[in-house]
C-alpha cells in the first residue's frame, strides 16, 4: 500500500540534492531529472539521506511512544486537531486533501488524525510523514501502510512547492520558511507545543530546584505569530492516571529523561500516580496571503 501511494503521488516529491522533479522507476526507485536515485525500502518508505544521520531518537524511544499513544495519552489533543482541521476544511474549497506530519516519529499521530478525519468528514486524506530518524520511519511504514513515509530533513525537505493542504507539527522543531513553501494557498499549519504545566510532575521529580523545573512556551508562540497568521489557539488540559509500567514508557519517550539521573527516574516511577497533560494548539495560515 505504501509503494502504491508513492506511485500515485510522485508529483509531491522533488530531489533534495538538486531540487528537480522526480519520477518512479518501476516500483523500486524515485529518480530525478539529474539521475539522483532514492530506493524504496521493502516496507515502502523512502530514505532521502545519502549518509546516516545520528539522532537522540532511537527505536526504544519510539517503541515507548507507540505504547503511550495506544494507551490514549494523546487522544484529547488529537481529537482537537481533528476538529480544527475538519471544521475548517468543511467550509473551504480544498481539492485533493494532502496532509504532512513534519516530525512524525513512528507515525501514530498522523495515522490517528487521518482516521478521525475520515470518520468526521467522510473525505479521503493522503497522509505523508517525514522524520530525521530512520528508526521511527521504519516503524511507521510497517505499522501504517496506508500512509507515505520518508526519512528526510525539514531544512531541505524533498517536496515540491504548495503541495500540502495541512501541515501538522506536533512537539517537534519547526522550519517556517519550508512550511510557507510547502503549504497550499488556503492551507493550514497546526503546531502543538507544550503548555507550562505539561508533565509538571516529571519536571518536579527529575529537576527540582533547577531551571528545567519550569517551562514557558511564550517564545515559541511569538515565533509562530511572526510567520503565520494565528486563526485558532486552543489549550488542551487534563490529568492522566499512570501505573508504573506505563509511566516508565512515558519517561523513556520524553527528552526530559535524557539528562536525568537514573536514581531520580526510578524514584519518580514509584512515586507519581497521575500526570498533567497541557498542550497549546496553534493553527495558522500563510501571513502574506492573509495580508494580501
> Torsion angle, CA of 263/260/193/59, rounded to 10 degrees?
-90
278: part of which helix (H) or strand (E)?
strand 274-286
pLDDT at 91 over 50: no
d(CA 191, CA 231): 12
Say if residues 78 and 109 touch (Cβ distance below 8 Å): yes
Mean pLDDT of the chain: 90
For residue 23, give the C-alpha cell: 519520477
Determine the Cα–Cα distance for residues 182 and 162; give it in Å rounded to an integer.
Answer: 4
Instruction: Indicate the pLDDT class of residue 123, thresholds 50, 70 and 90.
Output: confident
Please indicate, yes or no, if residue 178 is contained in any of the structural domains: yes
Strand 29-32 versus strand 22-25 pairing type: antiparallel
Is residue 292, in this structure, part of any structural domain at all? no
| Full DSSP string of 185-214 | EEEEEEEEEE-TTTTHHHHHHHSTTSTTS-
- Asked, for residue 231, whether it belongs to a domain, the answer is yes
Count of structural domains, the chain: 1
| Res 289 pLDDT > 70 | no
List alpha helices for 34-92, DSSP H.
59-70, 75-90
d(CA 21, CA 16): 10
The pLDDT value recorded for residue 292 is 38
Neighbouring C-beta atoms of residue 229, cutoff 10 Å? 16
Which bin fits 81, alpha (ψ -120 to 50), beta or left (φ > 0)? Answer: alpha
Closest CA to 102 of 172, 50, 53: 172
Asked whether residue 88 is domain-assigned, the answer is yes
Write out the three cell numbers for 94: 480544498
Residue 10: half-sphere exposure toward Cβ, Cα within 13 Å: 19
* pLDDT for 212: 66
Mean of the pLDDT values across residues 34-49?
94
CATH number, domain at 197?
Answer: 3.40.50.150
d(CA 189, CA 99): 10
Q: Which has the higher per-residue pLDDT, 251 or 207?
A: 251
Residue 109 has a CB neighbour count (10 Å cut-off) of: 25
CA distance 125 to 165: 10
Could you list the residue range(s) of the whole structural domain that residue 169 is in?
2-287
Q: What is the mean pLDDT of residues 136-149?
A: 95
Amino acid at each position: 500500500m505504501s509503494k502504491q501511494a508513492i506511485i500515485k503521488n510522485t508529483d509531491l516529491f522533488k530531489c533534495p540534492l538538486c531540487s528537480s522533479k522526480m519520477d518512479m522507476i518501476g516500483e523500486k526507485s524515485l529518480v530525478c531529472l539529474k539521475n539522483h536515485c532514492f530506493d524504496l525500502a521493502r516496507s515502502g518508505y523512502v530514505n532521502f539521506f545519502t549518509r546516516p544521520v545520528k539522532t537522540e531518537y532511537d527505536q526504544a524511544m519510539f517503541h515507548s511512544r507507540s505504547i503511550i499513544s495506544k494507551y490514549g495519552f494523546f487522544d484529547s489533543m488529537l481529537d482537537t486537531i481533528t476538529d480544527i482541521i475538519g471544521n475548517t476544511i468543511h467550509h473551504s474549497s480544498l481539492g485533493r486533501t494532502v496532509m504532512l506530519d513534519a516530525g512524525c516519529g513512528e507515525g501514530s499521530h498522523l495515522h490517528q488524525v487521518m482516521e478521525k478525519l475520515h470518520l468526521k468528514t467522510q473525505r479521503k486524506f493522503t497522509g505523508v510523514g517525514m522524520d530525521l530518524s530512520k528508526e521511527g520511519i521504519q516503524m511507521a511504514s510497517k505499522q501504517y501502510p496506508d500512509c507515505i513515509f520518508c526519512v528526510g530533513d525539514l531544512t531541505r525537505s524533498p517536496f515540491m512547492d504548495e503541495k500540502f493542504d495541512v501541515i501538522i507539527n506536533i512537539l517537534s522543531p519547526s522550519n517556517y520558511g519550508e512550511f510557507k513553501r510547502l503549504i497550499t494557498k488556503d492551507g493550514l499549519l497546526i503546531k502543538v507545543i507544550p503548555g507550562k504545566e505539561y508533565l509538571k510532575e516529571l519536571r518536579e521529580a527529575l529537576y527540582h530546584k533547577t531551571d528545567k523545573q519550569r517551562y514557558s512556551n511564550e517564545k515559541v508562540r511569538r515565533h509562530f505569530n511572526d510567520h503565520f497568521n494565528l486563526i485558532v489557539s486552543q489549550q488542551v488540559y487534563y490529568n492522566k492516571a499512570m501505573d508504573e509500567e506505563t509511566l516508565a514508557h512515558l519517561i523513556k519517550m520524553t527528552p526530559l529523561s535524557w539528562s536525568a539521573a537514573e536514581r531520580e527516574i526510578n524514584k519518580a516511577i514509584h512515586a507519581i500516580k497521575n500526570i498533567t497533560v497541557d498542550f497549546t494548539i496553534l493553527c495558522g495560515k500563510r501571513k502574506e496571503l492573509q495580508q494580501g
